[in-house]
Structure 1
Amino acid sequence: METKSLLLFHLLLLLISLPYSKPDLSADRSALLSLRSAVHGRTLLWNVSLLNPCSWTGVICEQNRVTVLRLPGFALTGEIPSGVFSNLTELRTLSLRLNALTGNLPQDLANCKSLRNLYLQGNLFSGEIPDFLFSLKDLVRLNLGENNFTGEMSSGFDNFTRLRTLFLEDNSLSGPLPDLKLEKLKQFNVSNNLLNGSIPDRFKGFGPSSFGGTSLCGKPLANCDGSSGSIVVPSKPNGVGEGKKKKLSGGAIAGIVIGSIVGLLLIALILMFLCRKNSSSKSRSIDIASIKQQEMEIQGEKPIVEAETGGGYGNGYSVASAAAAAMVGNGKGGDLNSGGAKKLVFFGKASRVFDLEDLLRASAEVLGKGTFGTAYKAVLEMGTVVAVKRLKDVTISEGEFREKIEIVGAMDHENLVPLRAYYYSRDEKLLVYDYMSMGSLSALLHGNRGAGRTPLNWEIRSGIALAAARGIEYLHSQGPNVSHGNIKSSNILLTHSYDARVSDFGLAHLVGPPSTPNRVAGYRAPEVTDPRKVSQKADVYSFGVLVLELLTGKAPTHALLNEEGVDLPRWVQSIVREEWTSEVFDLELLRYQNIEEEMVQLLQLGIDCAAQYPDNRPSMSEVTRRIDELCRSSLPEDHNPRPEPINDADDNSSR
């Protein structure tokens, strides 16, 4: 009898303790299976026969608990059932972005007290942002953008004392923007909501795009006083006439009319004079001043990512190409047609179907202003299209220039943009290259990110990395002191079939010190102090940054990086250390399945190349070998590297 009583007592204790038992990996597994059965759409490719869920796609474990769950763009639909997150209590990162999940946020999400990164953008969540969310005080990054959240913004956001990123754009939040403290906040966006009122001082340091599509006012948007800019008569001492618009007298109006007529006559006379002058010099090329003005306009008005892409945004004009006009050299046209050295000098077997006169008659457009000068697209009368680079800051002697440019012209590799010819005079130095129809990698990566954009898939990006590596490896094989010196995405040009070619090689040794110290900002190895003296290991560093740019979709000068005060390699490394590696990849790459391992391997190679110390970086031959192995292992038999257009506006975000 006593034995039975004892057994009943222990059984009772066990039953009482069950609700308070600590969740373990089996409980995490059950929670994941509950989620899988509740959200419809593409089946999660999880091998449910395995008791350990840590090998499932998007699941990462640590110390026998699930700490990361990432299921971005998995076409998940429906509501998340209650009870999933009450077991996943050790989650540090949760990413369900770019799905079609509906309903309110599950209340048991409050049990994930260790959560640091919450990415729910691009879904159909609705209702007010719940108060229980503000109990997650360790959140560092919170993205609830592109949902259907309503109601006012709560002051509860101030509970997030560690928050660095807060994105709430494209919802239906209303009311005023609360005066939150959030001292560590670096990224903020509440655009396209129903918010109104003045912008608190804490948020006035963010750009206008953070508040666009709202009724908010104050810096950085328009003032809140609603002033229209009318001229108002100052208040008189007795108050008479206060606030009334100033009226013009009849004499003033007559003076304005007469002044306008005189001004129009002057403009007409100036136009007639200019037309006559243009007629008398009809056969002359555009002078160097107009070229320099074009360059100033490009540099001053275009974004840097366009100004260095070779994307062909510049103005087209004819009679004489800008490139040929540059050869005039401050109007000294006699240099062009004189004999001897004042000719185009061709290399090797380069086709000599045109000469200097043909180039003079070509139509042209400005492609971009880069590190070593301005590039032009020149279309000759016989239909030949070439790219012409007008060098700047050339300080070496003519003999030394010709000696070095001959070495550049002798470079022959399928992954280099071949130098076909050059022109040298005292005032102008021009290089003639094959024209690359698709422009630069920089333009393709960072150009139009809107709906309908053609994405760069994994095959194309890895192929570009391999081709560029082969081109640079060839350069390094020409001697231990031969380097490129200016590797960056705007110097990787593409053909229509997305074959990559490395350009601008060998030019770093032709020009003087940079006029602007940051002209290759983000790519230059830390040990490089003189851009004319770049080692092969410094080239490897620049190539590593290029690889990271390919994978992340972020330029080294990206605003996000500037705000955080880090360069691209350190930003990537910080994310990898936090164990949310997939968050570093461009969203366009996350659309493709079963390549995660290859992407991570290439990411690690980029990090290795961008090591702080030169001795820790691999050689370009080793880099090429590793990328080649990656490409071979990820290449399906029926692969199609051609990209397909994206119509999903959700992929506009770089987050």
Structure 2
Amino acid sequence: MSVAASAAALLLALAASLALLASAEPPASERSALLAFLTATPHERKLGWNTSTPACRWVGVTCDAAGSTVVALRLPGIGLLGAIPPATIGRLPNLQVLSLRSNRITGTIPDDLLQLSALRAVFLQNNALSGAIPAGVGRLGALERLVLAHNNLSGPIPFALNNLTSLRSLRLEGNRLSGKIPSISIPGLAAFNVSDNALNGSIPQSLAKFPEDAFAGNLQLCGTPLPPCSPFFPSPSPAPGMSPIDVPGAASGKKKLSGLAIAGIVVGAVLAALLLLALIVFCAKKSRQQSGAREGPKAAAAAGQTRGVAPPETGMTTSSSKDDMGGGGGGTGTSGSAAAAAVAAGAGTGEASRLVFLGKGAGYSFDLEDLLRASAEVLGKGSVGTSYKAVLEEGTTVVVKRLKDVAVARREFDAHMEALGRVEHRNLLPVRAYYFSKDEKLLVYDYLPNGSLSAMLHGSRGSGRTPMDWDARMRSALSASRGLAHLHSAHNLAHGNVKSSNVLLRPDYDAAALSDFCLHPIFPSTTTRVGSGGYRAPEMVDSRRPTFKADVYSLGVLLLELLTGKSPTHASLEGDGTLDLPRWVQSVVREEWTAEVFDVELVRLGASAEEEMVALLQVAMACVATVPDARPDAPDVVRMIEEIGSGHGQTTTEESARGGTSEEERSRGTPPAVPTP
């Protein structure tokens, strides 16, 4: 009987414990935080969270063994839409695992998530998060897994990640992160991936152990395990006043050479130079003898005079008098100057190469050597090449575009650049200089510090930035239209690559400038290089043959971008990825939901120009007509936009065509008309 009584008592105690466990519940504050999160975040799947069932039994919610607190929240792929509401998930103080992957979450990473000191794993991949990775992530000392892949995150990778000493997996691939990779030295880090971003510079030695795939898709990254860094535009640049011997690693390499080895190198170099000089003298003497025997003294004298003739007048100016060698802009003179030969190095074709200035670029006072010594910062990479911000020693700042896959010969390249150098308009950014050699083709532009229209429209949305108001957008629309109309009517040139990243802003918005115009003739024919990314007209099949009507189509997409705030390159507007921007706008307007088209940032700003917005929408829809002949010409687009709101632009098309040079030079920072002494 005593055994039976003991068993009964044990069963009774067990039942009581189970009942107590079943009734255990997280604090009311955690329940209300979860309900607030779900209520404020639209979602496609019904989760069945309600107050009649314990929170620990809700879908996606995991509690600790005692059922007294929430330790995990897993809601992957349930159709969550919009930003993570503040003061919701951040009120779960013991949360260890957060998984909201494969939803449509937007906005930035909330600050209150960075207060959850117990977090061990964060999975936010495959969403639409934007803004920077906050440096406060370094406060999550218990974090073991951080996965933010395939979002729209931008800015640098924070060095504060080094504080996460327990981190075992860091995945940031498929974002828009930029800058250099910090030296992350975490002993237990076993998985690392930053591929398909916009990172630049050399890969830190502490991360060189990871495979090449972990860094692929960053065109400006170099070093192990990727190919070694190029000496052109070195990154990072030495600090001002720092000699090469002061660069880390330079002195250690030099110490490895003994005095005997250095002496041998010097002697060998001297002998090689003497031998080369003797060979040159011998060849020159023999050439003169043969020329005299064949043509007589009179012909020889004529040849000697020709060698001293300056290059013919072509409207272009070389960087300095020491560069009077042929091959740039039609020059035929020759020179034995060692300095000129040094500048010409790298041509690789037997003809000299130099920096050739065009139009008002003659007001710049630097040469190629100055340019190659400049400190350089990657501004971005596009379909035609990579752009650098180059700060010269004298303080001048220019933009250098390093072209890739140029498909034309030197003479054709020279002629085309000379034609582009004649283009001058306040709403166009012309080429100021160029350099052509076998291995390098460079274009030099004025530097506009205000950035691009694309960055202004789409950069770091929701992170406290000041959005573009309606007046600024209308001025940008006018600027782009006027620049395109001038190209078409005054120079009979098609732009070929109209897009928001090629609209560069100045302090006065009505002087924004179209850049990268008419570069298509120097590249090989392709269906994907120029005019792609949602801006290309449907009839375009050859990138080297854009038409005026194709330009107008691209301008129409740009106007829709200004109106909707949506980028044509991310046009999966309903989540299915099937509609481009013009077709999406057409579908919305067809259902008589026109108000749904306009950018929510304009609505938040309280824009009161609904009539103007609708009128500009009609202009944009005319520009993106499927049939090219149904589209207006660029000058007509300018006229229609000016009629919508005359107060948005400070000058009309006729006024900008007549003059305005001084205002243009003030807004652009154009160099003086004559070279600086």
After TM superposition, the score normalised by the length of structure 2 is 0.49
Does the alignment pair 1:504 with 2:516? yes
Residue in 1 that maps onto 2:6:
none
Does the alignment pair 1:488 with 2:490? no
| Aligned counterparts of 2:101 and 2:389: Cα–Cα separation in 1 | 43
Superposition pairs of residues 450-599 of structure 1, within 5 angstroms: 450-478=462-490, 480=492, 482-498=493-509, 499-514=511-526, 520-558=532-570, 560-561=572-573, 563-590=576-603, 591-599=605-613
Contact kept, 8 Å, 1:295 with 1:374, in 2: the verdict is: no
Contact kept, 8 Å, 1:377 with 1:385, in 2: the verdict is: yes
Deviations 1:19-45 (A, max 9, x none): xxxxxxxxxxxxxxxxxxxxxxxxxxx
Residue in 1 that maps onto 2:672:
none
CA drift of 1:186 comes to 7.1
Residue in 1 that maps onto 2:646:
632
Letter in 1 for 2:59: P
Mark the CA change 1:346 to 1:524 in structure 2 (over 3 Å): closer, same or farther: same
| Aligned counterparts of 1:592 and 1:219: Cα–Cα separation in 2 | 36
Deviations 1:299-334 (A, max 9, x none): 689xxxxxxxxxxxx9666689xxx9xxxxxxxx96
| Aligned counterparts of 2:406 and 2:352: Cα–Cα separation in 1 | 18
Contact kept, 8 Å, 1:458 with 1:592, in 2: the verdict is: no
Mark the CA change 1:532 to 1:630 in structure 2 (over 3 Å): closer, same or farther: same
Mark the CA change 1:518 to 1:176 in structure 2 (over 3 Å): closer, same or farther: farther
Equivalent in 614, 617, 623 of residue 637 of structure 2: 623
CA drift of 1:422 comes to 0.8
> Secondary structure in 1 aligned to 2:563?
helix
Letter in 2 for 1:297: N
User: Is there any run of 5+ residues in structure 1 with no aligned partner, and where?
Assistant: 1-125, 131-142, 157-171, 179-183, 230-259, 261-293, 302-313, 325-332, 637-655
CA drift of 1:386 comes to 0.7
Residue in 2 that maps onto 1:176:
59
Deviations 1:89-136 (A, max 9, x none): xxxxxxxxxxxxxxxxxxxxxxxxxxxxxxxxxxxxx99999xxxxxx
CA drift of 1:418 comes to 2.1
Does the alignment pair 1:297 with 2:180? no
Mark the CA change 1:187 to 1:459 in structure 2 (over 3 Å): closer, same or farther: same
Does the alignment pair 1:600 with 2:614? yes
Equivalent in 382, 388, 391 of residue 400 of structure 2: 388
CA drift of 1:429 comes to 1.0
Mark the CA change 1:349 to 1:634 in structure 2 (over 3 Å): closer, same or farther: closer
Letter in 2 for 1:364: A
What RMSD in Å do the two structures reach over aligned CA positions? 4.5
Letter in 1 for 2:590: R
CA drift of 1:633 comes to 6.0
Letter in 1 for 2:598: F
| Aligned counterparts of 1:554 and 1:423: Cα–Cα separation in 2 | 37
Contact kept, 8 Å, 1:476 with 1:536, in 2: the verdict is: yes
Mark the CA change 1:521 to 1:603 in structure 2 (over 3 Å): closer, same or farther: same
Residue in 1 that maps onto 2:454:
442
After TM superposition, the score normalised by the length of structure 1 is 0.51
Contact kept, 8 Å, 2:572 with 2:579, in 1: the verdict is: no
Letter in 1 for 2:538: P
Does the alignment pair 1:188 with 2:76? no
Superposition pairs of residues 121-200 of structure 1, within 5 angstroms: 145=40, 153-154=47-48, 175-176=58-59, 188=81, 191-192=84-85, 193=88
Letter in 1 for 2:588: I
Contact kept, 8 Å, 2:81 with 2:105, in 1: the verdict is: no
Deviations 1:62-101 (A, max 9, x none): xxxxxxxxxxxxxxxxxxxxxxxxxxxxxxxxxxxxxxxx
Deviations 1:348-368 (A, max 9, x none): 342141111221222111111
Equivalent in 331, 353, 362 of residue 342 of structure 1: 353
Residue in 2 that maps onto 1:37:
none
Superposition pairs of residues 28-67 of structure 1, within 5 angstroms: none
Residue in 2 that maps onto 1:414:
426
Superposition pairs of residues 64-79 of structure 1, within 5 angstroms: none
| Aligned counterparts of 2:39 and 2:218: Cα–Cα separation in 1 | 40
CA drift of 1:296 comes to 6.1
Letter in 1 for 2:453: L
Contact kept, 8 Å, 1:409 with 1:419, in 2: the verdict is: yes
Contact kept, 8 Å, 2:526 with 2:544, in 1: the verdict is: no
User: Is there any run of 5+ residues in structure 2 with no aligned partner, and where?
Assistant: 1-31, 62-76, 127-141, 146-186, 188-214, 223-234, 244-318, 320-339, 651-677
| Aligned counterparts of 1:434 and 1:199: Cα–Cα separation in 2 | 47
Letter in 1 for 2:614: V
Letter in 2 for 1:206: N
CA drift of 1:619 comes to 0.7
Residue in 2 that maps onto 1:265:
none
Contact kept, 8 Å, 2:572 with 2:580, in 1: the verdict is: no
| Aligned counterparts of 2:56 and 2:500: Cα–Cα separation in 1 | 39
> Secondary structure in 2 aligned to 1:599?
helix
Contact kept, 8 Å, 2:41 with 2:82, in 1: the verdict is: no
CA drift of 1:175 comes to 3.7
Mark the CA change 1:227 to 1:606 in structure 2 (over 3 Å): closer, same or farther: closer
> Secondary structure in 2 aligned to 1:419?
coil
| Aligned counterparts of 1:440 and 1:508: Cα–Cα separation in 2 | 21
> Secondary structure in 2 aligned to 1:389?
strand
Mark the CA change 1:220 to 1:532 in structure 2 (over 3 Å): closer, same or farther: same
| Aligned counterparts of 1:449 and 1:315: Cα–Cα separation in 2 | 29
Residue in 1 that maps onto 2:28:
none
Mark the CA change 1:199 to 1:460 in structure 2 (over 3 Å): closer, same or farther: closer
Contact kept, 8 Å, 1:207 with 1:220, in 2: the verdict is: no
Mark the CA change 1:512 to 1:635 in structure 2 (over 3 Å): closer, same or farther: closer
Letter in 1 for 2:499: K
Letter in 1 for 2:484: I
Mark the CA change 1:127 to 1:399 in structure 2 (over 3 Å): closer, same or farther: closer
Does the alignment pair 1:613 with 2:627? yes
Mark the CA change 1:465 to 1:221 in structure 2 (over 3 Å): closer, same or farther: closer
CA drift of 1:560 comes to 3.7
Letter in 2 for 1:536: F
| Aligned counterparts of 1:436 and 1:594: Cα–Cα separation in 2 | 31
Contact kept, 8 Å, 1:598 with 1:634, in 2: the verdict is: no
| Aligned counterparts of 1:520 and 1:388: Cα–Cα separation in 2 | 23
Residue in 1 that maps onto 2:103:
206
CA drift of 1:405 comes to 1.2
Mark the CA change 1:206 to 1:594 in structure 2 (over 3 Å): closer, same or farther: closer
More divergent stretch after superposition (346-355 vs 543-552): 346-355
Letter in 1 for 2:568: P
| Aligned counterparts of 2:411 and 2:579: Cα–Cα separation in 1 | 43
Contact kept, 8 Å, 1:186 with 1:563, in 2: the verdict is: no
| Aligned counterparts of 2:637 and 2:121: Cα–Cα separation in 1 | 52
| Aligned counterparts of 2:595 and 2:57: Cα–Cα separation in 1 | 33
| Aligned counterparts of 1:393 and 1:177: Cα–Cα separation in 2 | 51
Fraction of identical pairs, as percent: 45
| Aligned counterparts of 2:424 and 2:385: Cα–Cα separation in 1 | 23
Letter in 2 for 1:388: V
Letter in 2 for 1:492: V
Residue in 2 that maps onto 1:285:
none
Letter in 2 for 1:464: S
Letter in 1 for 2:103: F
> Secondary structure in 2 aligned to 1:459?
helix
Mark the CA change 1:341 to 1:633 in structure 2 (over 3 Å): closer, same or farther: same
